[in-house]
């Protein structure tokens, strides 16, 4: 179980997800945290406003880490995220050699929610991160945040109401 400090990092991810939704993008947000707890970088989904379906925050953070951190800093860092990485982002995380991932919600939850809301089927299969990067430590989902994340996705699918 993660502590209060880590729950705060996840809450920041949910805030970023809401910011993305308000901007017209999909509700996902992520932060990259150093081993000493310092927040190094954060991003949100930008697939609509950026005009590029690969502009996921987890992918952006992996690239930021590749540019700005040494390998030892990457493996000691943690990525917090509002929703479990998609296979593309999990692969980028694995290639760059980042450390632990903490997810507010899981890919399985998202698939269930999107089905429930009648969203169109994703062109990319939802997989647990560890199916893509088997040795990675992944924590989550967290019940404390599930309702809030679910509501953001409901708004995204149902015309943002």
Chain residues binding Zn ion by CB under 5 A are 56, 86, 88-89
Would you say 76 or 88 has its CB closer to Zn ion?
A: 88
Q: CA 65, CA 8: separation in Å to the nearest integer?
A: 21
In the complex, the smallest distance separating the C-beta of residue 95 from Zn ion, rounded to whole angstroms, is: 13
Q: Least distance in Å: CB of 3 to Zn ion? A: 26
Q: How far is the CB of 1 from Zn ion (least distance, A)?
A: 26
Residue with tokens 């169109």: 120
- State which residue, 35 or 122, has the beta carbon closest to Zn ion: 122
In angstroms, give the least distance from the CB of 121 to Zn ion: 16
CA angle 17, 6, 130 (to 5 degrees): 75
Decide: 20 and 26 in contact? Cβ < 8 Å.
yes
Q: With residue 90 as reference, give the H or E element that holds it.
A: helix 87-96
User: Which of 86/110 has CB closer to Zn ion?
Assistant: 86
Exposure b/e, 58-77, CB count within 10 A at least 16 = b: bbbbbebbeeebeeebbeeb
By beta-carbon proximity to Zn ion, the closer residue of 86 and 96 is 86
């Amino acid at each position: 179980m993660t502590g209060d400090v880590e729950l705060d990092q996840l809450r920041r991810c949910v805030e970023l997800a809401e910011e993305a939704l308000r901007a017209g993008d999909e509700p996902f947000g992520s932060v990259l945290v150093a081993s000493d707890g310092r927040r190094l970088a954060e991003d949100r989904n930008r697939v609509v406003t950026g005009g590029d379906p690969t502009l996921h925050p987890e992918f952006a953070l992996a690239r930021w880490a590749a540019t700005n951190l040494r390998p030892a800093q990457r493996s000691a860092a943690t990525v917090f995220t509002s929703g479990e990485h998609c296979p593309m982002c999990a692969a980028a995380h694995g290639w760059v050699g980042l450390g632990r991932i903490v997810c507010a919600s899981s890919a399985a939850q998202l698939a269930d929610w999107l089905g429930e809301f009648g969203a169109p089927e994703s062109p990319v299969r939802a997989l647990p991160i560890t199916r893509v990067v088997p040795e990675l430590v992944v924590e989550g989902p967290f019940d404390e945040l599930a309702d809030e994340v679910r509501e953001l996705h409901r708004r995204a699918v149902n015309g943002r109401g």
